[in-house]
Amino acid sequence: MADQLFVQLQGDTIKMLSLDMEMLSVGRTPDNGLVLPHASVAIRHAEIRRQEDRFVLTDLGNGETFLAGRRLTPHQPQILDEGSLVQVGPYVLAYVVNSEVLRPPEEVRPLPVPADWQLLPTRPPRLPFPATRAAGTVSAYLEYLPALFSESEFLGRYLLIFQSIWEPLQHRQDHLEMYFSPSTAPGQMLDWFGSWLGLEIDPLWPEDRKRQWLREAMDLMRSRGTRYGLVRAIELGCGVTPQVIEDPKRPFQVTILLPDPEDQLSAEQTTSSATSRESVERLIAQHLPAHVQYELRFVPTGPASGGTPAAP
């Protein structure tokens, strides 16, 4: 198994390469071994060469290659160590050395399955508060006209038409700040707000889960790439607290346990916790560092589970 190079863009892992070649060229055009299509990346930006049992990185004269946050001097080879992070334009390349600990285990080891999963119940959708429409037989707009016009019954009924149209719009403008708050915004706008922040919102999520996701959006982005950020993202997106297990003998690899969505749960628990592997993997890809591998397991929660995890 060769050394690994993980390519990350805006927090998402977009490519994984096995460094089983003598030289890997990095650049913008398709004739490179690693193509990074961005205007800030040069046609021939950098190269990674094998020297005996290690790899070295060389900037090819652009001066825009960073290793561990330090700008590299052009044409000066730098040795890549385990876990080195290389920045090329908007891309981050994470280098992982070949090791036995990165290989999948030959047999599934028993993992501690919690007796109780912490389920997060969802509340019903927020009831809208429509603007009060004009009531009565004459329009309130007569109060803004000279007293002479208040004697005309026809004018009062005629202005009632315009009052019925403009009053809801004026009510919305008077309370405009409520439309931009995750707690009070209309449910139809929540997905739109998520696109503003670059945080994907599953349209199948309950409304309460979407609102909580937006309330904690800044904290999620601030803690992205940490254990807390990963756990909290899955917790908010799936409605259940996951179990993240780290083994000191297997660095850069975690095991994530979640209750089996097809297990026999109560109706209320199913509504708040059942999820699909695809939705969980999307959340993990957004909030897990590029150089960390993961193993996702759904474990049964019924009495017959016996504490043995299900197959991945």
Give pLDDT tens digits for 118-138.
666 677 776 666 656 666 677
pLDDT, the chain, mean? 78
The predicted-structure confidence for 181-216, as pLDDT tens digits, reads as follows 888 888 888 888 888 887 878 888 888 888 888 888
Residue that has been written with the tokens 């094998």 in this structure: 50
pTM of full prediction above 0.85: no
Kind of pairing between the strands at 78-79 and 243-246: unpaired
Q: What is the pLDDT of residue 277?
A: 77
Q: What is the pLDDT of residue 104?
A: 42
Separation between Cα atoms, residue 104 and residue 278, nearest integer Å? 21
Going from the C-alpha of 136 to that of each of 72, 142, 166, 233, 259, the distances in angstroms are 76, 13, 16, 51, 57
% of the chain residues with pLDDT over 90: 3
One-letter-per-residue 3-state SS of 31-47? CCCEECCCCCCCCCCEE
The predicted-structure confidence for 13-63, as pLDDT tens digits, reads as follows 888 888 888 899 998 888 888 989 888 888 889 999 988 888 899 998 876
Taken in order of first residue, the domains within the chain and their CATH numbers are: 3-98 (2.60.200.20), 140-180 (no CATH), 195-299 (no CATH)
Highest mean pLDDT among 43-47, 270-274, 287-291: 43-47
The whole-angstrom distance between residue 174's C-alpha and the CA centroid of its chain comes to 34
Degrees, nearest 5: CA angle 203-13-83: 140
